[in-house]
Every structure is written in C-alpha cells, then in structure tokens.
Amino acid sequence: MLYMIGLGLGDERDITVKGLEAVKRCKSVYIEAYTSLLSFGLSTNGLSKMEKLYGKQITVADREMVEERADEILLEAREVDVAFLVVGDPFGATTHTDFVVRAKKMGLEVKVMHNASVMNAIGICGLQLYRYGEAVSIPFFTETWRPYSFYGKIQENRRLGLHTLCLLDIRVKEPSWESLCRGKKCYEPPKYMTIHTAISQLLEVEHARGESAYDEDTKCVGLARLGCDDQMVVSGTMKELQEVDFGAPLHCLVIVGQTHPSEEEMLDFYSIKSMENGKSTRPDGE
C-alpha cells in the first residue's frame, strides 16, 4: 500500500496522529523535498529529528527522484507498505496528484492522510477563504525567461473582486544551465523567492502590460513562515511591503480584492500602521 501523508507547515510535530501511526507501520518512508520545506528545512539535524520522532529512517525524494524514478517507489509499494511524506497537504501540488494517478493505474491501494497547507493557513490574515480566486505561481525571472502568464489570472480575480494567493518560487537541487550544456549535472544553491522579489516582478509585468490590473498602491498581505512559531503577517500596499523585512523563507503574497468590513478589521491588526505604533504583526501577538 502507498500512504500519502501530509506533514503540515511547521515542524516534525505537525503530523497528525493517524499519519504518525501509518508511518510507523511502513517498511519504507520517503519525504518529498522540492515543492515546499518544513521550518527546519532538510538539514541533517532536521531529518534526524523526524527520524527520532517517527522511529523510521527517511529517504529524501528530490525532484529528480520523483520524476525519473517514481516507478521504483511504486513497485516497492506493491510488496510492502510505503509512506510518501509531503509538506502541507498531499494534494497541494499537481506533482503529487500525478504520483497518485500513476499508483492507481498500477493497481496500488492508496491511502491519504490530509493536513494543513498554505491554501487554508492563509486564513490567518483575516481574508475569507471563499473570497479567493485562482491561485497563481510567481517564478523567478531570468535574463531569457520572463513569463507573464499569471498576469491575466490576477487581472480576472481583480475584476471579480476576489483575492489572489501568489505562491512564490522555490528552487531546490536545480541543475545549472551551463552544467546541462556540458552534459554533467551541477546543482545551483537552494533559492527561495522573497516577497520583495515577487512584488518587483509583479510591478515589472504591470509596467510592461499596462492594463491596470494592479499598481504599487494595491493593498496586499505578505506572509512568512506560515505555521511556525515566528510566522509573520503584514498588510499594506505593494510599495509599503517592499520596505518590510520578512526574514527567512518561506514567503507568500496575497493581492487583496474587494473586502468585507470584518476582513478590513482583521487586516488592520496586521497593517503597516500597527507596526509603526509598536503593535505586533505576529498572529500570537508577541
């Protein structure tokens, strides 16, 4: 059997009781390591914490392993119970949906253990979840690749008065272009998009398209390290958020649509003005 187990957003303790029980029953345990990261990342110490709590040796499954050697994991799951651990919820990324489809086509039984993900944890900022439109991904721009496909989706959400969750790029164990040209893979250092970078790219696209989907005075919410003890939530205009130090990754950004008075009241707790007045923009009030 293949178990798809969500780990939540914080650390190794955020796994559900059902999920932990399933892990302990499994012969092999893999953790997906490229669509997101837990707060402690995947340092040796971080993995040892997981292995100690879960009582299992854990194999890190990077993008290369999942995309090129997925059949090995699935064939193993034909013979023994295998756990595939995913940060957040197992279906928070399309890659995992594809993994389950492949498993079912092979006739495998798949059991899913859900958990919190960024898609519902963003509710902490006070914007009502059913008032969100289509979420978008903001990739790192390069000199030769600057995709604008997310712009139209944001524009449509704004037209409908809906909020837009922007998921920011994570690049872990990505081969450099130069090494691929030489035929020998050499991996770039991990790279995590910040709110500052995301806003700069968003404004660059608006300047290029000029269709007034948003501007530097558009209200947004910046969120960092959701689910962690030091998570940070700040509301303000794009221009204002570019002046805020959000600290360590992971970051995400919400472009605010039309708001209800109750949403406005909650956003006020996290406003730039609250920061300037010495009030906390951390949800725990510290």
Q: Is 118 annotated as a binding residue?
A: yes
Task: Evaluate whether 168 touches 252 at the Cβ level (below 8 Å).
Answer: yes
- Main-chain dihedrals φ then ψ at residue 86, nearest 5 degrees: -130, 130
Q: Is 217 annotated as a binding residue?
A: no
Distance of CA 135 to the CA centre of its chain: 11
Task: Evaluate whether 264 touches 236 at the Cβ level (below 8 Å).
Answer: no
Task: Evaluate whether 25 touches 81 at the Cβ level (below 8 Å).
Answer: yes
Distance of CA 50 to the CA centre of its chain: 20
Q: Is 168 annotated as a binding residue?
A: yes
- Where do runs of H (alpha helix) occur along the chain? 17-25, 44-54, 63-68, 70-79, 94-105, 118-121, 149-159, 177-182, 195-209, 238-241, 261-269, 272-276
- CB-side neighbour CA atoms (13 Å) of 192: 17
- Main-chain dihedrals φ then ψ at residue 245, nearest 5 degrees: -90, 105
Query: What DSSP letter does each residue of 46-79 carry, written as one string?
Result: HHHHHHHHHTS-EEEE-HHHHHHSHHHHHHHHHH
One-letter amino acid identity for 204?
A: E
Task: Evaluate whether 252 touches 125 at the Cβ level (below 8 Å).
Answer: no
Q: Is 203 annotated as a binding residue?
A: no
What does the DSSP 8-state code read for residue 112?
E
- Main-chain dihedrals φ then ψ at residue 271, nearest 5 degrees: -75, 160
Q: Is 129 annotated as a binding residue?
A: no
- CB-side neighbour CA atoms (13 Å) of 38: 24
Q: Is 89 annotated as a binding residue?
A: yes
Q: Is 215 annotated as a binding residue?
A: no
One-letter amino acid identity for 61?
A: A
How far apart are alpha carbons 189 and 14 in whole angstroms? 27
Q: Is 251 annotated as a binding residue?
A: yes
Please state the residue numbers annotated as binding site for S-adenosyl-L-methionine.
9, 89, 92, 117-118, 168, 226, 251
Please state the residue numbers annotated as binding site.
9, 89, 92, 117-118, 168, 226, 251
